[in-house]
Amino acid sequence: MPPFVMVQAIVRPEKVYGVMKALLDAGFPAVTKVDVFGRGKQRGLKVGEITYDELPKEQLIVVVSDEDAPLVVDTIVASARTEGKGAFGDGKIFVLPVDESYTISSGTKDEEA
Amino acid sequence: MKQVVAIIRSQAINRTREALVSAGVSGFTVRKVLGRGKGNVDFRVLHGAEEGAIEAIAQLGDGPMLVPKRLLTVVVPEERLAAVVQTIIDANRTNTAGDGKIFVLPVKEAIRIRTSERDAKALE
Distance CA B48, CA B78 (A): 46
What pLDDT digit, counting tens, does each position of B104-120 carry? 999 998 888 888 888 88
Domain boundaries, chain A: 4-109
Signed CA dihedral, A42, A46, A52, A55: sign only: negative
Please tell me which of the candidates B38, B103, B106 has its beta carbon nearest to residue A101.
Answer: B103
Quote the pLDDT of residue B59. Answer: 59
Please list the pLDDT of chain A residue by residue as tens digits (113 residues): 568 999 999 999 999 888 988 988 888 888 999 999 998 888 888 888 888 888 999 999 999 999 999 999 999 999 999 988 888 889 999 999 999 899 988 888 887 65
Chain A contacts of B46, Cβ < 8 Å? 17
Is ipTM strictly over 0.90? Answer: no
Distance CA B22, CA A71 (A): 42
Q: Best residue in A32, A60, A63 to probe B by mutation, most B CBs within 10 Å? A: A32
Q: Best residue in A8, A62, A66, A105 to probe B by mutation, most B CBs within 10 Å? A: A105
Q: Which residues contact A12 (CB under 8 A, 6 or more apart)?
A: A57, A58, A80, A82, A89, A90, A91
Please tell me which of the candidates B31, B99, B105 has its beta carbon nearest to residue A6.
Answer: B105
Assess A36–B contact: CB distance below 8 Å, yes or no: no
Assess B40–A contact: CB distance below 8 Å, yes or no: yes
Q: What is the CATH number of domain A4-109?
A: 3.30.70.120
Distance CA A89, CA A44 (A): 9
Half-sphere exposure (Cβ direction) of B98: Cα atoms closer than 13 Å: 13
Quote the pLDDT of residue B51. Answer: 72
* Predicted structure pTM score: 0.78
Nearest CA in chain A to B94: A105
Q: Domains in chain B, ordered, with CATH?
A: 2-37+67-123 (3.30.70.120)
Assess B88–A contact: CB distance below 8 Å, yes or no: yes
Distance CA A33, CA A82 (A): 20
Cβ pair A104:B8 closer than 8 A = yes
| Span B12-32, average pLDDT | 89
Quote the pLDDT of residue B43. Answer: 62
Assess A102–B contact: CB distance below 8 Å, yes or no: yes
Mean pLDDT of chain B: 83
Residue B114 C-alpha, separation from nearest chain A C-alpha, in angstroms: 24
